[in-house]
DNA sequence: TAAAGGATAGTGGTCTGACCACTTTAGAAT
DNA sequence: ATTCTAAAGTGGTCAGACCACTATCCTTTA
């Protein structure tokens, strides 16, 4: 910790020092870190400076603080940085199309993933969906798509998908129409048979109907 | 800004409020934000709370502060947060796999997008790459992949890809080996011919070689 | 003795006011 | 009109004081 020079941003040095401390103490996820007051004393800075560094790390999802208890090494897997970034970046209306495109990328990938995995594509949940699609039950669009993305097993992809869903133009919360049910049924069947290519085709058809998009449009 | 409830983490609310302010004022990259003291007064909180929020955003690279001048909206594209994150996360068990999988999802989507677009797949840049691949030039892996993701035209996807790239196990910064060049050449050719399916296959082969992954592994 | 209860210390969350170092600006002296 | 200087404004930091909450220990009670 060689911060002899006044580097104009002490709290950045603190962030670095904290990493060193965590490393030295061999702290593992869930472990408790020294209290703010102790850290301030040990690093010879004010408590507020320590806090600025800690709050930064908290927003990054690297630590977790519980009032009255202390500060703990967090489980990074939550990927909450994506959320923060998104709230700042996604307010650009012009990027709505890229949001839709990206969401579609993840849905396609999930369908493909399941189609190519003998275990996943034979899960009973798909039969269950087929049954519901035959009947007169109301099925919300996102029920099926969410199940697909969840089952595919990629947690980060799921997280991103959830995020994008919020900003999407596609009315996910509505129920499927009759002709949609038919297409969804075909999608499921091909997926269960392992025909990823056909499943993707039905998926594309489905979205075309929902959004009423022009086929020839430049789409990626 | 309906934070009437004392949500136990005011500084998180402030982060949200700051976004609102930025939005309302239509601030663009490089614009100056209100001073810390003004913000504290306007949001009815102490200056230290404002600072905790601002420092967090600074570590994320969303704002930039200059002593004596003020706080400014930063250019997100610098991605400086990733450096800090990576030093903390580095080797994380199965979280890394989902990062790799997700990155691959976006690369595949980009390849497919370009293959299916007559304009994009005939761009001169691909011929240029083919030429370089024939010669003895050193070609860094990410040069090609980045170009592909960029050209695909989905800015959000590109942003996510940039983020994931930094966490990846794949040595993006290294140069391609000879056998890799051959595969990359095939990939490009099929892409330029519009055979997205074959292009994807070559892409998969390529990554298998680079990572040395077992073929049979459960992958999505 | 064992369970229930309450006082206490420790922790994060916040505010205030005070400096410091630096930059910009406006006004005074030339 | 130019130059120089003082003042105002800004981020950077610190110290001390509360508050709200949690865990712990110890007394009280059944």
Please say whether the beta carbons of A191 and A111 come within 8 A. Answer: yes
Mean pLDDT, rounded, for B173-201: 90
Number of other CB atoms surrounding residue A118 within 10 Å: 8
Query: What's the pLDDT score for residue A167?
Result: 63
Report the alpha-carbon distance of residue A10 to residue A23 in Å, rounded. Answer: 20
Question: Which range has the top average pLDDT, A206-215, B57-66, B83-92, B100-109?
Answer: B100-109
Query: What's the pLDDT score for residue A92?
Result: 54
Report the alpha-carbon distance of residue A154 to residue A163 in Å, rounded. Answer: 14
CB contact under 8 A, A156 and B59: no
pLDDT band at B80 (very low <50, low <70, confident <90, very high): very low
Q: Which residues of B20-36 are buried (b: 16+ CB within 10 A; e: fewer)?
A: ebbeeeeeeeeeebbeb
Whether the predicted model's global pTM rises above the 0.75 cut: no
Token digits for B108?
Answer: 């595949």
Report the alpha-carbon distance of residue A56 to residue B14 in Å, rounded. Answer: 13
Residue B59 pLDDT more than 90?
Answer: no
Residue B209 pLDDT more than 60?
Answer: yes
pLDDT band at B167 (very low <50, low <70, confident <90, very high): low
CB contact under 8 A, B59 and A15: yes
- Taking only residues 107 to 136 of chain B, the set having a beta carbon closer than 8 angstroms to any beta carbon of chain A reads 108-110, 113-114, 116-117
Q: Å from B105 to nearest chain A CA? A: 6
Report the alpha-carbon distance of residue B142 to residue B162 in Å, rounded. Answer: 10
Residue % of chain B over a pLDDT of 90: 33
Token digits for A92?
Answer: 């650009």
Residue B32 pLDDT more than 50?
Answer: yes
| Average pLDDT score over chain B | 79
DSSP for residue B140: B
Nearest to A160 among B92, B114, B160 (CB): B160
Mean pLDDT, rounded, for B150-159: 84
Query: What's the pLDDT score for residue A216?
Result: 45
Token digits for A23?
Answer: 């490393």
Half-sphere exposure of A171 (CA within 13 A, CB side): 10
CB contact under 8 A, A60 and B23: no
Least confident of A61-70, A109-118, B6-15, B52-61: B6-15
- Residues of chain A short of pLDDT 70, as ranges, are 1-12, 75-96, 163, 166-167, 212-220
DSSP-assigned states of every residue in chain A: ----S--S-HHHHHHHHHHHHHHHTT--TTPBPPPHHHHHHHHTS-HHHHHHHHHHHHHTTSEEEETTTEEEE--GGG-HHHHHHHHHHTT-GGGHHHHHHHHHHHHHHHHHHHHT-HHHHT-HHHHHHHHHHHSS---BHHHHHHHHHHHH--HHHHHHHHHHHHH-SS-TTSBP-HHHHHHHHHHHHHHHHT-HHHHHHHHHHHHHHHHT--TTS---
Owner of token pair 């990938």: A109
Residue % of chain B over a pLDDT of 70: 79
pLDDT band at B97 (very low <50, low <70, confident <90, very high): confident
- Taking only residues 151 to 210 of chain B, the set having a beta carbon closer than 8 angstroms to any beta carbon of chain A reads 152-157, 159-160, 163, 197
pLDDT higher at B79 or A202 = A202
Query: What's the pLDDT score for residue B95?
Result: 60
Best probe of the B interface among A49, A63, A100, A154, by most B CBs < 10 A, is A154
Residue B166 pLDDT more than 50?
Answer: yes
Query: What's the pLDDT score for residue B178?
Result: 83
Query: What's the pLDDT score for residue A75?
Result: 67
Nearest to B220 among A76, A88, A153 (CB): A153
Q: Å from B135 to nearest chain A CA? A: 32
Residue of A nearest to B52 (CA): A52
């Amino acid at each position: 910790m060689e911060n002899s020079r006044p580097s104009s941003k002490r709290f950045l040095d603190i962030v670095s020092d904290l990493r060193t401390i965590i490393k030295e103490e061999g702290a593992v996820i869930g472990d408790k870190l020294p209290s703010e007051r102790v850290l301030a004393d040990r690093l010879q800075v004010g408590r507020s400076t320590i806090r600025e560094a800690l709050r930064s790390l908290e927003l990054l999802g690297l630590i977790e603080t519980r009032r009255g208890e202390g500060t703990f090494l967090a489980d990074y897997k939550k990927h909450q940085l994506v959320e923060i970034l998104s709230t700042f970046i996604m307010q650009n209306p012009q990027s709505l199309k890229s949001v839709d495109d990206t969401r579609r990328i993840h849905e396609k990938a999930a369908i493909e993933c399941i189609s190519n995995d003998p275990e996943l594509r034979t899960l009973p949940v798909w039969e269950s969906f087929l049954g519901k699609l035959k009947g007169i039950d109301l099925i919300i669009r996102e029920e099926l798509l969410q199940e697909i993305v969840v089952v595919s097993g990629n947690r980060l992809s799921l997280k991103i998908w959830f995020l994008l869903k919020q900003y999407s133009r596609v009315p996910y919360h509505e129920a499927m129409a009759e002709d949609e049910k038919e297409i969804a049924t075909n999608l499921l069947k091909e997926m269960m048979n392992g025909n990823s290519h056909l499943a993707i085709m039905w998926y594309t058809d489905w979205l075309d109907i929902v959004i009423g998009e022009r086929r020839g449009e430049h789409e990626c």
